[in-house]
Amino acid sequence: MKLGIAVVYLVSERNGALLDVHLSRIAGHTSVPYTIYAGANRLLPQYRARLEREPRVRIVECSDTGRHGGAEHAHYLEHLVRAAIDDGVTHVAVLHVDSFPVCDGWAEKLAARLSDPCALVTVPVTFTALLMFRREFYLACGPRFELTPEDERDPACPAYREKQGPYVHSGSGYLFAAERHGLTWERLDGDRPDAADYGVVYAGAVFHLNGAARLDVPAASWLRTAAYGRTLGVIRAGLHAVMSERQRARWARRLGAVHRSLVQRPVWQAEQRRYEAARARLLADPDRYLEEQIGKGHGNGPADRPRAGAG
């Protein structure tokens, strides 16, 4: 097994310690040969220097993009995965800066869940917080992190969107590519042992804090509902149908401004408090916090078994 780990690094000044936890956990729990393929286009200089000191990190120079949010993230990931495949990796694992392994043998454990019919292992909604696949899937199916215009025209796409919420996140295109080729994928249901806590351990193998990759601004839970995602999907489809590329870009910026104003509401503020509490506990004593999360959870149980076709 030769593992490529693709991560887009966007770290705020207050989260340097989180970057250290992320890198140290990968190094400490990964026994197979691996390289971290790092996207650092908008990384602060001091943290880029931190990555440059890591012998197993390769910073990939990605082309800039005028896009933002999930679209920007997906753009960089395309470069990182292509670099890993070109280097001959057998498996790719996509992580966020606030997701990392918590047990030895995590890569082998997740890779064992992959098979000829099961092309992907991932987690709910924020698919790229943990997304693993084989080299063969990438070469045979040519997946893209975002749904492409071709995907949107596919008759199967509306049903796929309905099944997914349809919350559109970078990684949605990979799941749809699997389905288009008659393959399945497995969603790992994680445990949030304490309703007041924020982090999640998936399959006893990978922890995801959630929020740090978006500059400490976790999305409000109500903005991830099926109704909200369906509305966004309808709006996007309408823009593609009746507007030029320039017009779509202008309206996308306007919609983004509306979205950002929505997440400032009180429900978001409650989510922010939960995130801050979990982040503080993690950074104060990573070993103790993660041991508590693993000990309280039961993420290796029946809820984590494969689900045909989708999550």
Provide the pLDDT for residue 45.
94
> Is residue 298 situated within a structural domain?
yes
* Residue 97 forms part of a structural domain: yes
- Rounded to 10°, the helix 45-52/16-29 angle is 20
Task: Please count the other Cβ atoms lying within 10 Å of the Cβ belonging to residue 58.
Answer: 16
| Position 310 in a domain | no
pTM of the entire structure?
Answer: 0.79
Asked whether 119 and 141 are in contact (CB, 8 A), the reply is yes
Q: What is the pLDDT of residues 208-217, one digit of tens each?
A: 998 765 535 4
Read off the pLDDT of residues 116-141 as tens digits, 9 standing for 90 and up. 999 999 998 889 999 999 999 999 99
DSSP-derived 3-state class of residue 152:
helix
The string of pLDDT tens digits covering residues 53-100 is 999 999 999 998 877 778 889 999 999 999 999 999 999 999 999 999
pLDDT, mean of residues 13-17: 89
Closest CA to 252 of 265, 264, 240: 240
How many domains, the chain?
A: 1
Q: Is the pLDDT reported for residue 36 higher than 80?
A: yes
Residue-averaged pLDDT of the chain = 82
Q: Which of 64, 63, 67, 54 is nearest to 26 (CA)?
A: 54
Q: pLDDT value at position 257?
A: 66
Give CA separation, 75 vs 64, 69, 70, 99, 168, in Å. 9, 10, 9, 19, 15
Q: Does residue 119 fall inside a structural domain?
A: yes
Does residue 309 lie within any of the structural domains?
no
pLDDT at position 288 is 93
Angle at which helices 226-242 and 245-262 cross, to 10°: 160
Regarding predicted confidence, which is higher, 142 or 297?
142
What integer pLDDT is reported at residue 260 of this predicted model? 59
CATH of the domain at 55: 3.90.550
**276: containing domain:** 3-304
Bigger pLDDT: 161 vs 27: 27
Q: Are 275 and 210 in contact (CB under 8 A)?
A: yes
Indicate the burial class of 34 (C-beta count within 10 angstroms; 0-12, 13-18, 19 or more). buried
Structure-block tokens of residue 174: 């990979």
Does any domain span residue 311? no
- Give the model's pLDDT for residue 264: 53
Of 56, 106, 305, 91, nearest to 207 by C-alpha is: 106
Q: What is the pLDDT of residue 263?
A: 54
